[in-house]
Amino acid sequence: MKIRFVLLLTVIFSAASIAPSFGAGERFALVIGNAKYPDAEAPLKEPINDARDVAEELKRDGFTVDIGENLTGDGMRRAFERLYGKIKPGSVVLLFFSGFGVQSNRQSYMIPIDAQIWTEADVRRDGFSLEMILGEINSRGAGVKIALIDASRRNPFERRFRSFSAGLAPIIAPNGTLVMYSAGLSSVISDNGSDHSLFVKELLKEIRTPDLMAEETLNRTRVGVTRASRQEQVPWISSSLAEDFSFVPGGAGPRPTSSPPPPPPPVIASPSPSPTPVPPQVPPPPQVAVATPIPTPTPPPPPPQAKVEIPPPLPPAKPPEGNTAIAALADDPTIKSLTAKLNDNPDDGAALYRRGQVYASKGAYELAIKDFNNSLRLNPKDVEAYNNRCWARTVIGDLQAALKDCNEALRLRPNFVDALDSRGLVNLKSGQTKNAIADFDAALKINPRLTSSLYGRGIAKKRNGSIPEGDLDINNAKAMDPNIAKEFAEYGVQ
């Protein structure tokens, strides 16, 4: 099935606890708002406005602010270099990033607008690791580092590969660091449809309150966001500050006061299950929401399924491959770039495979299959190409050929979770519900958060007569991914 990725939207706010001897001139901030990602269906509404408001507030608080909007990878790299060059021993350094973020290998990455992410390795190539940036800031002598991260949005990269953890990862940061995420670890939130994020609204309100230390400011922000979202969004905080630091210089000034926040809301069960435990490197403070685990029974090994009788397939999904749609695809910037590479070198296997992924993600399945065919011609042992061709063929209803592709992928790489998931869809569409359940069980044993397998297993169980168990799987999958039912409908499964 198609590649999933979650990722991550990240807002990073890095500031430091400041001793009385630190002057206002020793406060430096880099504020970045990225909204126009070509891979997203529409520009994000919140990051630019939030970045501008944060920058203005920080200027009033004595920070020297560098603000960047819709930065490419080169633009972000130059911005970080400018920030590093300003840091002096004992400086307060604040980094704010609003845009898409992705968790990979237990690190959180900020994503520039021109990133081309199709595999997890691409995240580490094109993204900017929060841990590495905080480490570099610390090595330049900064006294206090504060990271506020509002990047836990669902992003356009998450569906491109499925060996992912949603949201952001815990941070291993140097001493003197205060980190805040706008949502809990490995959690994602939906945009509220307004021009400003709830997180930044609450953050700015508390920053403007005099006589508050930074940790108290962020704790009050957490309470405000949790209350305003009715416990659906619970920010996460980690601190290793050793000194008192206030955003408002001197702890006083012409800032409006506000009454103390009410006590934190009662602990309730979260509607979003997340059985994957949080890595223990940086234990987070107690949060309001409690995750609900997803039942993942230990399944028997899936059957070989070398030969399966395929009944007449369901009506295939119709890819947008008319003349108008093909012309529109040709204008896609990513496809343009890959096509240019292939014009120079038709045997560029990596470009063929990646363009096939782009075509598939945009519903141009026949074009995707052609690219996967050529990719496999160059490398007959390309397991990923077999799996993706299996998935594309499944969507258009070529089930017999799809089954052969998935079997070959699993022969080359036994227990390959993506191929198990894809073969589960083949069996589901072909009416082989017991085989589908076995494949989805095997995939979920490897990755319990694989929503496509969870939802597919629910459909298969219901078709097999286990209605309550099927409904449980379906509801759990929808809680993790509200769009999963629509996605399966596009595959021809309802």
One domain, residues 275 and 342: no
One domain, residues 195 and 127: yes
Average pLDDT over the chain reads: 78
Confidence band of 57 (pLDDT split at 50, 70, 90): very high
One domain, residues 215 and 87: yes
Taking only the tens place, the pLDDT of each residue in 202-254 is: 999 999 888 889 999 999 999 999 998 888 888 889 888 888 889 987 654 33
Question: Distance between CA 120 and CA 103 in Å, rounded?
Answer: 9
One domain, residues 69 and 129: yes
Helices 365-378 and 383-396, packing angle to 10 deg:
150
DSSP 232: S
* Among 427, 440, 442, residue whose Cα is nearest residue 493: 427
pLDDT for 327 beyond 80 = no
364 close to 387: Cβ distance less than 8 angstroms: no
Write the CA distances from 54 to 59, 73, 118, integer angstroms. Answer: 9, 22, 32
Burial class (CB in 10 A: 0-12, 13-18, 19+), 50: buried
One domain, residues 54 and 132: yes
What residue numbers bound the domain in which 163 lies?
24-250+270-288
Q: Is residue 7 in some structural domain?
A: no
Q: Is residue 76 in some structural domain?
A: yes
Q: Which own/partner pairs from 336-341 qualify as long-range (CB within 8 Å, at least 24 positions apart)?
A: 337/116
Between 21 and 152, name the one with better pLDDT: 152
Give the chain's domain count: 2
Q: Is residue 111 in some structural domain?
A: yes
One domain, residues 430 and 483: yes
Q: Is residue 174 in some structural domain?
A: yes
One domain, residues 64 and 142: yes
pTM across the whole model: 0.52
Per-residue pLDDT, 167: 74
pLDDT for 31 beyond 80 = yes
Question: For position 151, which CATH number holds?
Answer: 3.40.50.1460
Q: Is residue 366 in some structural domain?
A: yes
Residue 39 φ/ψ region, left for φ over 0, alpha for ψ in the -120 to 50 degree band, beta for the rest: alpha
Confidence band of 161 (pLDDT split at 50, 70, 90): low
pLDDT above 70 as % of the chain: 76
Question: Distance between CA 120 and CA 448 in Å, rounded?
Answer: 18
One domain, residues 220 and 86: yes
Question: Distance between CA 143 and CA 138 in Å, rounded?
Answer: 7
One domain, residues 229 and 362: no
